[in-house]
């Protein structure tokens, strides 16, 4: 990140980056729990990859309107949200009018929007003398946590807290809907509206994190903490809290490691730390962990042989 990074001097810039990535991990982990339980992790992947088209499109639109391109998250995030929502809506429209499965429709939209985003990004790079300020947009592919500013931190915190507030506000309905949509419908819960809200929350959780982690790796920060948390509990509330904690710790620790070794990019390191947390959970969780299962098998064999 800077000359002080190898000594791990927590200057103002590094604190901002750690807080920003930690907030991203917390929000992604909490919202990713619902995607995991609903088996909709592919939705998060589609949103992440589709957002590249919205980011570059928002940048170019700002250039056309003002004559200068802005890479502020306040400009790029709305474009990413619009692209993510558009990809999901188009996927649903295609699957409802054809024989394509939902996964196939999502895959088509992922390829279409991500391919369009890469082409638009390359076009902007080829017109470098004409379009100023586009340098750094390619960092959204794999993330650039070191580029987070205090303004970005406020943006991430504001949007993330708003998403978590909506999640808590609708908690009871989301809980019923997540485990039994038919029962939720029988209770009079507007299932379609709730599904739409849940997907918008998922879009929000994804787009606030792509600046730090990147569109390619964002799905890992969404799904891995939730997968790790699931090993420790069967209760939704505990799972969401643990997933949020695992996401925050993974993101913050990955950022610190990246700062310590300046040649390591933050996004991949964050994902590797999250994967390590998942592997430890997979092995050591008290009920679902591999070690616990092995102990139960050994005991059952001993009892049977006694």
The string of pLDDT tens digits covering residues 29-66 is 999 999 999 888 888 889 989 999 998 888 888 877 77
pLDDT at 246 over 80: yes
- Whole-angstrom distance, CA of residue 5 vs CA of residue 250: 19
Most confidently modeled range among 98-112, 207-221, 258-272: 98-112
Residue reference for tokens 């960092």: 139
Q: Identify the band that residue 5 occupies on the pLDDT scale cut at 50, 70 and 90.
A: very low
Q: Is residue 30 a contact partner of residue 245, using CB atoms and an 8 Å limit?
A: no
Any residues with CB less than 8 A from the CB of 131 and at least 6 apart, and which?
60, 63, 69, 124
Q: Would you list the domain boundaries of the chain?
A: 5-305
More confident residue, 286 or 273: 273
How high is the pLDDT of residue 4? 40
Q: Which CATH superfamily is domain 5-305 in?
A: ABC transporter involved in vitamin B12 uptake, BtuC (1.10.3470.10)
- Whole-angstrom distance, CA of residue 306 vs CA of residue 303: 5
More confident residue, 9 or 109: 109
- What six digits make up the tokens of 279? 């592997």
The 3 state secondary structure assigned to the chain is CCCCHHHCCCCHHHHHHHHHHHHHHHHHHHHHHHHHHCCCHHHHHHHHHHHHHHHHHHHHHHHHHHCCCCCCHHHHHHHHHHHHHHHHHHHHHHHHHCCCCHHHHHHHHHHHHHHHHHHHHHHHHHCCCCCCCCCCHHHHCCCCHHHCCHHHHHHHHHHHHHHHHHHHHCHHHHHHHHHCHHHHHHCCCCHHHHHHHHHHHHHHHHHCCHHHHCCCCHHHHHHHHHHHHHCCCCCHHHHHHHHHHHHHHHHHHHHHHHHHCCCCCHHHHHHHHHHHHHHHHHHHCCCCCHHHHHHHHHHHHHHHHC
pLDDT tens digit string along 138-178? 778 877 787 787 888 888 888 889 999 999 999 999 999 98
How high is the pLDDT of residue 249? 96
More confident residue, 61 or 277: 277
Q: Identify the band that residue 298 occupies on the pLDDT scale cut at 50, 70 and 90.
A: confident
How high is the pLDDT of residue 1? 46
Which residue in 23, 24, 21, 32 sits closest to 243, CA to CA?
32
How high is the pLDDT of residue 129? 57
Whole-model pTM: value is 0.85
pLDDT tens digit string along 227-245? 999 999 989 999 999 999 9
- Whole-angstrom distance, CA of residue 205 vs CA of residue 208: 6
């Amino acid at each position: 990140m800077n000359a002080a990074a190898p000594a791990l001097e927590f200057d103002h810039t590094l604190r901002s980056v750690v807080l920003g990535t930690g907030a991203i991990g917390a929000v992604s982990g909490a919202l990713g729990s619902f995607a995991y339980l609903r088996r909709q992790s592919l939705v998060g992947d589609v949103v992440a990859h589709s957002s590249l088209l919205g980011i570059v499109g928002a940048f170019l639109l700002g250039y056309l309107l003002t004559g200068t391109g802005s890479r502020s998250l306040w400009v790029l995030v709305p474009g990413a949200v619009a692209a993510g929502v558009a990809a999901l809506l188009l996927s649903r429209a295609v699957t409802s009018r054809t024989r394509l499965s939902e996964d196939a429709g999502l895959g088509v939209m992922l390829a279409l929007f991500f391919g369009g985003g890469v082409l638009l990004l390359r076009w902007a790079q080829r017109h470098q003398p004409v379009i100023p300020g586009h340098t750094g947009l390619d960092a959204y592919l794999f993330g650039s946590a070191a580029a987070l500013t205090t303004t970005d931190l406020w943006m991430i915190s504001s949007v993330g807290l708003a998403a978590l507030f909506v999640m808590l506000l609708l908690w009871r309905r989301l809980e019923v809907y997540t485990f039994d949509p038919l029962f939720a419908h029988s209770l009079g819960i507007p299932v379609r509206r709730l599904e739409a809200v849940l997907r918008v929350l998922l879009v929000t959780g994804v787009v606030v994190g792509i600046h730090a982690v990147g569109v390619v790796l964002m799905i890992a920060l969404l799904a891995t903490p939730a997968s790790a948390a699931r090993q420790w509990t069967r209760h939704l509330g505990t799972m969401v809290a643990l997933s949020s904690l695992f996401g925050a710790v993974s993101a913050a620790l990955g950022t610190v490691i990246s700062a310590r070794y300046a040649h390591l990019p933050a996004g991949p390191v964050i994902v590797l730390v999250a994967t390590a947390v998942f592997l430890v959970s997979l092995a050591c969780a008290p009920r679902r962990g591999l070690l616990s299962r092995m102990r139960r098998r050994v005991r059952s064999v001993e009892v049977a042989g006694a």
